[in-house]
């Protein structure tokens, strides 16, 4: 009898151990689920908490001008970012591409396509805006997603960390053999129907970077204004 009891003991212990594993499995799954949800929503909440420092901040609701829930908007097309903006004629130039670098964000010689149409393939200079180094405002659009997916070499994510820029940060543009050095002078966020940020100012040479915020959404537009300081 003692032999039979001892022989069965390991099996009982194994059953108890297996039961314990099944008891803690739901807790593990719940913890992992909460972690993944937090990783998605925390960047948005963190952005909203910190963005009170932006100048002229505007809190807005989702874009109403995009129509009803059945409307499909392709945000890889720069024309959808400001739906009420007029269609401008591109500036005449033999140059179709140039490069942009932001050392703080580890973006090196990213391609900017003048009057491009696909933000998945490159940064895009908004049509009708000044060319780099000219008086006026060179406006560049770039795509963004949640910052944890940021890759400075991937145009789907390239502007994901743009909200971390501050006044005084440097931006470099290599255009037609000339290297232009810009400095951040202003940061703000606006609604998609505020097309004043696309206007030209001819008192100096400006460069404006635009992406969507909060991270991973299309609710607002982040505007980084820079000014040429040397070339």
Q: Give the Cα separation of 36 and 177 in Å (integer).
A: 46
DSSP 124-189: EEPTTSPPTTSSEEEEEE-----GGG--TT-TTTTTTTGGG--TT-EEEEEETTEEEEEEEEEEEE
CATH of the domain at 112: 2.40.260.10
Check whether residue 29 and residue 133 sit in a common domain.
Answer: no
Which helix (DSSP H) or strand (DSSP E) does residue 207 occupy? strand 205-213
Question: What string of pLDDT tens digits covers the 231 residues of the chain?
Answer: 544 554 555 555 555 555 555 666 665 666 655 555 555 554 555 555 555 444 444 433 333 344 444 556 677 777 777 777 766 666 667 889 999 999 999 999 999 999 888 999 999 999 889 999 999 999 999 999 988 889 999 999 999 999 999 999 999 999 999 999 999 999 999 999 999 999 898 999 999 999 999 877 888 999 999 999 998
DSSP state of 89: P
At 21 the pLDDT is 58
Check whether residue 12 and residue 107 sit in a common domain.
Answer: no
The rounded Cα 35 to chain-centroid distance in angstroms is: 22
Place of tokens 């932001």: 102
Question: Which residues constitute the domain of residue 10?
Answer: 2-51
How many structural domains is the chain composed of?
2
Check whether residue 79 and residue 149 sit in a common domain.
Answer: yes
Check whether residue 47 and residue 64 sit in a common domain.
Answer: no
Check whether residue 183 and residue 215 sit in a common domain.
Answer: yes
Check whether residue 47 and residue 113 sit in a common domain.
Answer: no
Check whether residue 62 and residue 47 sit in a common domain.
Answer: no
At 218 the pLDDT is 85
Check whether residue 120 and residue 215 sit in a common domain.
Answer: yes
At 231 the pLDDT is 84
Which helix (DSSP H) or strand (DSSP E) does residue 6 occupy? helix 2-50
Instruction: Name the domain boundary from 31, 51, 71.
Output: 51
- Answering whether pTM is above 0.75, one says no
DSSP state of 223: E
CA triple 11-16-19, angle to 5 deg: 125
């Amino acid at each position: 009898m003692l032999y039979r009891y001892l022989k069965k003991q390991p099996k009982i212990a194994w059953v108890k151990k297996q039961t314990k594993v099944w008891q803690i499995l739901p807790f593990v799954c719940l913890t992992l689920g909460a972690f993944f949800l937090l990783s998605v929503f925390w960047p948005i909440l963190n952005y909203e908490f910190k963005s009170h420092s932006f100048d002229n901040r505007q809190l807005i609701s989702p874009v109403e001008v995009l129509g009803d829930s059945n409307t499909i908007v392709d945000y890889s097309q720069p024309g959808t970012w400001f739906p009420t903006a007029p269609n401008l004629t591109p500036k005449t130039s033999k140059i179709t591409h140039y490069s942009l670098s932001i050392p703080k964000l580890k973006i090196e010689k990213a391609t900017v396509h003048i009057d491009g149409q696909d933000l998945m393939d490159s940064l895009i200079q908004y049509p009708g805006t000044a060319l780099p180094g000219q008086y006026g405002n060179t406006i560049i659009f770039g795509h963004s997603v949640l910052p944890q997916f940021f890759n400075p070499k991937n145009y789907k994510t390239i502007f994901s960390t743009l909200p971390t820029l501050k006044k005084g940060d440097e931006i470099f543009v290599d255009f037609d053999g000339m290297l232009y050095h810009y400095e951040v002078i202003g940061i703000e966020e606006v609604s998609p129907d505020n097309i004043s940020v696309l206007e030209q100012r001819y008192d100096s040479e400006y460069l404006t970077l635009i992406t969507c915020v909060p991270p991973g959404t299309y609710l607002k537009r982040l505007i980084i204004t820079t000014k040429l300081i040397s070339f």
